[in-house]
Chains A and B, each alone.
Chain A
Amino acid sequence: MKFIKYLLVGILFGIVMTKSEAVSWFRIQEMFRFESFHMYGIIGTAVILGAILVATIKKVHGHTITGEQIKFNPKAMSIPRYLIGGTIFGLGWAMTGACPGPMFTLLGQGVWSILLVIVSAVIGTFVYGVLRPKLPH
């Protein structure tokens, strides 16, 4: 069944998120207070290696496991949506210490109160969808 592979990568992701401590509320405070290199090391390493990976895939015309060309969709340039949206996201990220990936990982860890955050996040996404036509993009 084609979804098994996604489940396995997801499990790996949950393990990585936990062992990297990127899901730790404490680590996020530390990051935004510039009191440790840890989170910057993780993201920095990921971006550098990720850039090499993406460039390589483009160069060799990499294909997916089912034979399709791996495509990267460039994003339309805009400032308002990315800056305003990003700022709103950042406020929430620092307040809860969790962005979406960590939210689900923490649930698996048994942090039940993260369900409040997840449900609120879904509601937040819903409200965005409702207000979208009226927001600057």
Chain B
Amino acid sequence: MIELISQPWHWAISGTMIVFVMFLLLWFGGEFGVSSNLRTLCAIGGAGKKYDFFNFNWKDQIWNLVFIAGAIIGGYIAINYLGSPEPVQISQATRTYLQSVGIHVPQTLAEGNGYVPSEIFGHPFSPINLFMLTIGGFLVGFGARYAGGCTSGHAISGLSNLQIPSLIAVIGFFIGGLTMAWLILPNLLTL
């Protein structure tokens, strides 16, 4: 059974399980939207005293913080007890492109499990990597709250509720993502 679950999951299973998570959250009285936790963390830090956006009763959002605490545990369990027998299988085209910009996609578990490139995440303080991780993180945090949601809130929850605003947000996600993936990152990685 463990061996079966440990295989990389087919995308249809993954998509179904994500909706199951959303169902459970709704049933429990919450909702599926992870980026609001970033706002809650700011509120806990006292930002609400000075800035309206963070001036709300963050205790109403404890359930969501507990949810992401669970996600941390889940990541730990999955990697350590449900690990796949081989690294993430990335397409040849992507592998070739990444090789051309100095990123090697692990082909055996000895090289890595294929979740994040060690060239970046294994050397986070080298200048370009530090720039990508911090500015990238900043853009995610700024953009997600500006748009009022991230992938979970808009692409999954919002589109499931047939919200046109969420469709616009997802279009924005792709404008940004495509610009970064095609125009900016290849140059950044070869600096």
Binding site for B on A (CB under 8 A): 2-3, 5-33, 35-39, 41-51, 53-54, 57, 62, 64-66, 68, 70, 72, 74-79, 81-101, 103-111, 113-114, 116-130, 132-133, 135
Contacts and interface: CB of A to CB of B under 8 A. Distances in A.
B18 A16 contact: yes
Tell which of B20, B69, B70, B78 has the most Cβ of chain A within 10 Å: B70
Interface residues of B, number: 123
A92 B140 contact: yes
A111 B15 contact: no
A100 to B, nearest CB: 4
Nearest to B175: A87
Tell which of B91, B138, B151, B174 has the most Cβ of chain A within 10 Å: B138
Interface in B110-164: 114-117, 120-122, 124, 130, 132-148, 150-152, 154-164
B155 to A, nearest CB: 6
A75 to B, nearest CB: 4
B19 interface: yes
Contacts of B72: 10, 14, 104-105, 107-108
Contacts of A89: 139-140, 142-144, 146-147, 150, 169, 172-173, 176
B137 A96 contact: yes
Interface in B26-57: 26-30, 34-35, 37-39, 41-42, 45, 47, 51-54
A115 B112 CA distance: 20
Contact of B184 (A30, A39, A76, A95): A95
Interface string B167-191: 0111111111111111011001000
A87 B75 contact: no
Contact of A50 (B53, B157, B170): B157
B21 interface: yes
B155 A47 contact: yes
Contacts of A50: 18-19, 22, 156-157, 159-160
B24 A9 contact: yes
B97 to A, nearest CB: 7
A101 B152 contact: yes
